[in-house]
Structure 1
Amino acid sequence: MNQESKENICQEIVFQHVYNTHVKDLNNYLYYKYGDQYNPSDKAQDAFIKLWDNCKKVTISKAKAYLFKVANNLMLNEIKHQKVVLKYQQINHSQHDYETPEFLIEKDQYLESYKKVLENLSEEQRVAFLLNKVDGKKHSEIADMLGVTKKVIEYRIYSAFKILKSELENFSIK
């Protein structure tokens, strides 16, 4: 029996070695092939999770090929999903058109202004604000995620809100 068949990927040290050896190449491969819009680093992590889940079935010599194949399939599935979402959005928008063209133009202009102001916020403010208002995370959850105190998160969100309110007309969030 050779050394390779004796070592099991399910052993933490072996898995860690496989991870450290291939994570950068896998991230780069996905990024170069599909770009940043489909979150290649997330898909790479998901591929490692699948490798861990199937560690008894995958040998060390086949681990790299397995990771690349799984990650590529995850990206292709994400692309298919985004196409379905896009198709649904197009169908959904064409079914009802009750807004006036003026309202739609104003809405688009306001959205663009909102995006520009968000871009001008510091990264810390923007991240804290969006995690709270878009993802619905609590201040304490965000503080734990970012490794800072709850007061720091409250200040970042408050300062971001203050900037948005001063830069945009009729800005309010519930």
Structure 2
Amino acid sequence: MALNFNHVYNAYYRKAFLFTQSYVHNDLVAEDIVSEAIIHLWELSKKGKIESIEAILITYIRSKSLNYLKHIRTRQNVFQDLLDKGQRELEIRISTLEACNPEEVMSEELRLKAKSLIENMPERTRTAFISARLDGKSHQEIADELGISVKGVEYHISKAVKILRENLKDYTPFLFFML
């Protein structure tokens, strides 16, 4: 025998809502869970599988509320992990910058290393890079001098920067001071 939906709703909704809301602390979520629980109860009653209305409601609400709270906990854990990672990364940047010794950054060794890398670049790459970054020439001026397109100049400059970045990766934040 099927339960009267309106009777069940009127008799149990408010109590079930307050019970659920006391755990999930979200009115909309509590309304959804309780509504689903009453519909579940009503569907079970159509199949004649009702022993205790309260037990079915509490069991259903408990299960859905636990799922919701576990989801919230997982989401908060992920968020906290991201915050922790960001905090660690920030601490590393701060400590690295505090430990930064300008004399070391601008050391002769680093200058020689960069100079050697630039000298060993293919001729067009070296010329395009030096003309753009050290001489301040426009890409069009460099293209005219080398007899290549502006895109070709951009390619060679990118290639030079890549060579420097790969070989001086430990000094990357400071390279712009040098060049």
Report TM bin, short chain: 0.3 to 0.5
Identify, as 1 or 2, the structure richer in helix. Answer: 2
TM-score by length of 2: 0.38
Larger Rg: 2
TM-score by length of 1: 0.39
